[in-house]
Structure 1
């Protein structure tokens, strides 16, 4: 019995909150529009555009063509090793020296992403930078330096560069639409939370139902509002 009363009170409270939010729909809509506009403006005027350039390398295990399962397995294992070595400090420091970059190898490593597409021995090197020309120069130099480094260090056939990066024409970030949408959602959630908090903290009596619920009293009669005529 007690559990049923608690559930009924909870259901009534939820319905009341939904009704309050429905009454304040214009505030929620305004907050969503404001969040959308502010997030879009922030993305346009305060976030630096980023560009990406990609170079691809192919991993070989022998000078000869592939002709055995063992050769394929060795090549797949080498791909994992090369992925780590491409991002190593010696390679990145050589790139910084050759291009005269004003960053350290840790900062350069954050710009670099190395992917290995599933079931392939191809390595995709992608560099993200605010300058599209820099993105191309950096990724190509990383490909050249890492291929030479791997060949000299491991005394194996170095990975072959099958595609150099090009100067990107379109920026990859920020996504103005995505940020604006997130801003709108954040604005809606924020104003809804404020409206709900105000409603829950407001213990004033606004109706007969509030009196019965808060004071546990039974209403026997009520007086209509009286307005004196002029």
Structure 2
């Protein structure tokens, strides 16, 4: 086989080994489906929002300087929310059987640009536990921030709730299966091309022409093996044998 493969040869290879490509793709899809539906634990997500508002004062209206100050404080709040000072109290009050480090990995804090709203997102294998952690984190933070920074400008904007049917945010079985099919196709095509490249056997007259670059003058077809003859013992008829015995006795 030549070092390089033309487009025509590539399509011929894929056509010849289409069964292998299909088999690899099906196996990859089945494995992905089994892992997604039966191995991976579903993870649910719950969110709560807190508002960084104006600090308590005698003024009735917000001014631009105070709003900007509150926005700048949000970056600091994002760090404090995920600190052990907050999460350790959340863990103890909810009696969670996990470490503060594990709880930290479940909590995500984010805020939109130039917004005073901070969103606390929690992921857990139970939607109810995720909602409890989100609400408790916001509650503890609201109480502790006045002690930590000597300010009181945080209020809970919306609480996390579990309503009706909830669906996990991960895994995504259909997406995983689709990705597995694509990977299976790529791997199957690569395997088919590799096997064709390593195959140096001669199977057809076309292979001879490709390797030797000589025309084929003729082809000897396969000759079926002739079945062996069955040994048959010839026996004379009864009357013949009787007459022979009579002649023998009469002599």
The Cα of 1:180 is off from its aligned counterpart by 1.4
Q: Match for residue 3 of structure 1?
A: none
TM-score (norm 2): 0.77
Aligned residue among 36, 48, 59 for 2:52: 59
- Measured on the aligned residues, the alpha-carbon RMSD in Å equals 2.5
1:93 corresponding residue in structure 2: 88
Change over 3 Å in CA distance of 1:172–1:218 after alignment to 2:
closer
Could you tell me which residue of structure 2 aligns to residue 17 of structure 1?
A: 10
**Does the Cα contact within 8 Å between 1:55 and 1:165 map onto a contact in 2?**
yes
Q: More helix per residue: 1 or 2? A: 1
Match of 1:137 among 132, 147, 153: 132
- Separation in structure 1 between the aligned mates of residue 221 and residue 209 of structure 2, nearest angstrom: 23
Tell me how far apart the structure 1 counterparts of residues 64 and 90 of structure 2 sit (CA, whole Å): 35
Q: Are 1:110 and 2:105 counterparts?
A: yes
In structure 2, the gaps of 5 or more residues are: 227-251
Output the CA distance in 2 between the equivalents of 1:23 and 1:71: 73
Aligned residues: 220
Corresponding residue of 1:180:
177
Structure whose alpha-carbon radius of gyration is higher: 2
State the partner residue of 1:197.
Answer: 194
Unaligned runs of 5+ in 1: 1-7
Please give the alpha-carbon distance, in whole angstroms, between the structure 2 residues aligned to 1:82 and 1:65: 24
Distance 2:97 2:118 in 1: 27
**1:31 match:** 24
Per the alignment, in what secondary structure is the counterpart of residue 56 of structure 1? Answer: strand
| 1:17 to partner: Cα distance | 2.6
Larger CA deviation: 201-210 vs 37-46: 201-210
